[in-house]
Each structure stands twice: as C-alpha cells, then as structure tokens.
Structure 1
Amino acid sequence: MSGENEARARPGFGRPVASGSQTTSAAYYGPGGSKSLSGIALRAFCLGGALAVSAVSCAAVLLLTSSPLWRLPFFGACLAAFHFLEFWTTARYNHAAASVDSFLLTANWPAYAVAHASAALECLVVGALFPSRSWILFLPHALGPLLLLAGLLLVAAGQAVRSAAMAQAGPSFNHIVQHARAPQHQLVTTGIYATFRHPSYFGFFYWALGTQLVLGNVVCFFVYAAVLWKFFSSRIRGEEAALVRMFGDEYVAFRKAVGTKIPFIP
C-alpha cells in the first residue's frame, strides 16, 4: 500500500490534530481537567448506582417492614437524581458550560454536606426512637400522612420547575452568577419565567423543604428554611444588580411584573 493511502483519513475518523490543540484538549477533557470525560463518566456512574441502590432499598423497607426508615434511602434517591439532572440538563441545553462541576457535588462545601448529613441523622435518630410517631409529636396524628404527601409533591414539583428553568434558559443559565453579559445571554421572560422570576431558585427552595417533610424532620425543616431563605435572598440581590447592569430597564420592568414566589423575597 502506498504512503498516500495510509495517510488518508478513514471514514468516521478525524484528521490528525495539531499538537497545540491536543495539549489544550487534554487540559480540558483529560484526567483532572475541568471537563474531564473520565471524571464525568465516573460521577454519572456513581450517581446512577446510588439512585438504583436507594430506590431498591426504599422499596424493600416499605414492602417488607413497617419501619419509617424507608425515608432515608428515599432521600438518597432524591439527592442522586438531583445531582445527575444538574449535569444532564446543563449538558443537554447549555453544553458549552457543562463541566465536572455541573454536578454540583462539591458546591458550597462543606456546608452543603453538613446540611444533608444532619438531615439524615435526625431522620435516623427520630425514626429509631419514635417509629410510630406522627410527623410532629405535638400535632394531630392525622396530619402525618398529609405532611408526607405535601413533601412528596414539593420534591417532584421543585425538581420539575428547576430542571425546566435550566432547559428553557439554555445558554443563558449558569450555576455561577455572571457579572458581564456574554453574546449568548438573553433575558428570558416567557414560559416558566413568566410565573417565577427565578424558577431555579424557587424549585430548589421547595425541593429541599419537601425532602425534610418526607424525612419527617422538625429541626432540619426550619433550619433548611432559614438558611435557604438567607442564601437566596442574598444571592438574588447580588444577581439582580448584575442583571440590571446587563439588561437595564428591560430587567427592571420584568422584576416589577414577576415575583420570585419565595416567601418574603418580592
């Protein structure tokens, strides 16, 4: 065979990449890179495994025992699904911004991990000591199932709203507050944004509170509500200052017309 034929690119294979491009690609997509393909695959695999184990464990405890501790693997399943969807939605609708960090597994570390560990611990301790209690000991027993149902609905609705917000905003959505307008940034005011000014924050706020209702946590429910309210109040204030600089009167009018639907954050 001639050297010319051997050098010709085969169908389905790209031409040789310049060494400079290879170096740049390795920095992003290689091990340890911000878009490390092996890192993304590993995290997705672990989250999928965690979701499967949690779902099976939850079903087994519900079907085979009378223990209220099915709530713990349910919480694990919610967390696994949430973090996977954070990456998947970013990769699907804003692929240029997708990275290892898009899973949000280490966001606000270690406070985020401490919050979820505390929630799991409260559920475990109270469930073990008071397995037949209602959601809150001093409330009528009949309210327990209603609060559980409310929690399940909040978890489902919160996740749906957040994922829908990320999908609709597309390239205009970023997990990090942007302080300068990029060419792809557009002010989204239709669809879910016509109802919620910050639907991704609304979704996470109520999703998190819903998980605590399902867990049956009294202390963590109120702590979550207070901490999340403070966090989003501060974040929205800073983010909207940047949005006013980017979009001017257009954003000011949007802010007046559409509320956040988070209590005490207009």
Structure 2
Amino acid sequence: MIDGAATLINSEMSELVGFAMSHPVQLPCFFVALFIFHISEFLLALLIHGSEKVSTSSFLFSKEYILAMTCGLLEYGMEAFYVPSLKSKMHISFIGLTLLCVGEAIRKTAILTAKQNFTHDIKIYHHENHELVTHGVYRFVRHPSYLGFFIWSAGTQVLLVNPICTVGYMIVTWRYFAQRISFEEYFLRQFFGKQYIDYARRVHSGIPFVK
C-alpha cells in the first residue's frame, strides 16, 4: 500500500516536472513582469520626488495585492496539475504578455508625463507646484496610470492562462479604481475648479464604464 502511494506521488510529481519543463515560459515571464513593474515604480518615484519623499511603500506591495498574486499562483498550480491542457494554450499566454507590455508602457508613460504631479498617494491638500496635466497621454484619458495597471494586472493572469483569476482581477481592480477615481476627483475639482470640470467632460476616465 505504501509502495503504491509512493508510486502515485512519484507519478504525479513527474507529471508536474514534465509540464514545467515543456512550458518554461509562463512562470518566468510572470515573475520577471512583477520584478520590472515594482522596481520601476520605486525607481521612478525616487527619480522624480527624491529619497526624502519616497518610502518602501512605493514598491506598491500590500496585503491585498500579495493575496491576489498568491491566488493567481495557486490557480495556476492547480490547473496545471488537474487540467494541464489548459496551460498548453501558448497563444493565450502571448496575448497576456502583450497586455503586460501595453499596460506597463501606458502606466510608465503616464508617470513620466506627469512627473512631480504624479504620486502613489491621493493628495487631499493642494500644493503650489501641483499642476493639472492634460497633455501627452492625458489628452486621451484622465487616469492613464490606472488604465495601465488595469490592463497590466489582467495581463498577469492571461499570461498564466488563469480564467478564474483573470475575471476576478478585472472585477476587483475595476471596483477599486471606480471608488478611487470618485474620491480623487472630488479633491481635483476642489483644487482646479472649472478647469478640471471641463477637462473631465471632454476626456474619459480611462477605466471602462467609469465616466
């Protein structure tokens, strides 16, 4: 009986190892994407605002975020074990990789365009050097950094061919940004008045179904 269980475990482990060896792209690309995203967020904040105004929070790690990424990895592992054929759809992974690149490019373009006007925290007090940015990528959407992250986060799960977490990520990030935009724009209207109201009328928020 023990020998039979050991044989079964060895067989299952061999299947997992075989799958990992035959599909070596998904997980490495996932971790590389995370590394690039978080390191670049911190370095750009450091470059733009200086070390005195930047803390480790600019790496953008939170308990909720870590939980979400853990769920994504758990789904990937379980589906790779029970439904390995699902993870063989490399054309879907390629779409995910494309979404990652597009989302990253949009977000970083937004940060570099806004420069010192971009912060990871919502500002509730108006500073003298705070300007309303409406040029560059901000001509097309009001919150390009949020749009970029929305696309990027979905891309992480499409890359892994995680159908459940892909839908879950999109719902959670949509709700988060819908609430954040409403809160943030209350203060932006206080800071910039009619200038921001007119801008908001002309330009979409960037998040689907959020005006």
2:121 maps to 176
Q: Distance in 2 between matches of 1:201 and 1:169?
A: 13
- 5 Å-filtered alignment, 1:125-204, equals 125-133=78-86, 144-204=89-149
Q: Deviations for 1:15-66, whole angstroms, at most 9, x for unmatched residues?
A: xxxxxxxxxxxxxxxxxxxxxxxxxxxxxxxxxxxxxxxxxxxxxx9xx931
Residue 130 of structure 1 aligns to which amino acid in structure 2? V
Q: Distance in 2 between matches of 1:195 and 1:98?
A: 29
Quote how far apart the aligned CAs of 1:132 are: 2.5
2:71 maps to 118
1:102 maps to 58
- Find the partner of 1:74 among 29, 32, 39: 29
Residue 56 of structure 2 aligns to which amino acid in structure 1? V
| Structure 1 stretch displaced more, 157-166 or 227-236 | 157-166
Residue 132 of structure 1 aligns to which amino acid in structure 2? S
SS in 1 for 2:85: coil
Contact 1:72 1:124 in 2 (8 A): no
Residue 167 of structure 2 aligns to which amino acid in structure 1? F
2:10 maps to none
Quote how far apart the aligned CAs of 1:263 are: 1.4
Quote how far apart the aligned CAs of 1:164 are: 1.3
Contact 1:153 1:210 in 2 (8 A): yes
Higher helix share: 2
Q: Distance in 1 between matches of 2:155 and 2:109?
A: 18
Largest Rg, 1 or 2 = 1
Q: Distance in 2 between matches of 1:237 and 1:162?
A: 19
Quote how far apart the aligned CAs of 1:134 are: 6.1
Contact 1:97 1:174 in 2 (8 A): no
Contact 1:93 1:166 in 2 (8 A): no
The structure 1 segments of at least 4 consecutive aligned residues displaced by more than 6 Å after TM superposition are none
Q: CA RMSD in A?
A: 1.9
Residue 74 of structure 1 aligns to which amino acid in structure 2? C
Contact 2:105 2:148 in 1 (8 A): yes
Q: Distance in 1 between matches of 2:29 and 2:87?
A: 18
Quote how far apart the aligned CAs of 1:75 are: 1.4
Q: Deviations for 1:177-222, whole angstroms, at most 9, x for unmatched residues?
A: 0111111210000001111210110000000001111010011011
Corresponding residue pairs, total:
192
Q: Distance in 1 between matches of 2:34 and 2:127?
A: 31
Q: Distance in 2 between matches of 1:98 and 1:168?
A: 19
Q: Which TM-score applies when normalising by structure 2?
A: 0.85
Quote how far apart the aligned CAs of 1:97 are: 3.1
Structure 2's unaligned 5+ residue stretches are 1-16
Q: Tell me, yes or no, if structure 1 residue 229 matches structure 2 residue 185.
A: no
Structure 1's unaligned 5+ residue stretches are 1-60, 136-143
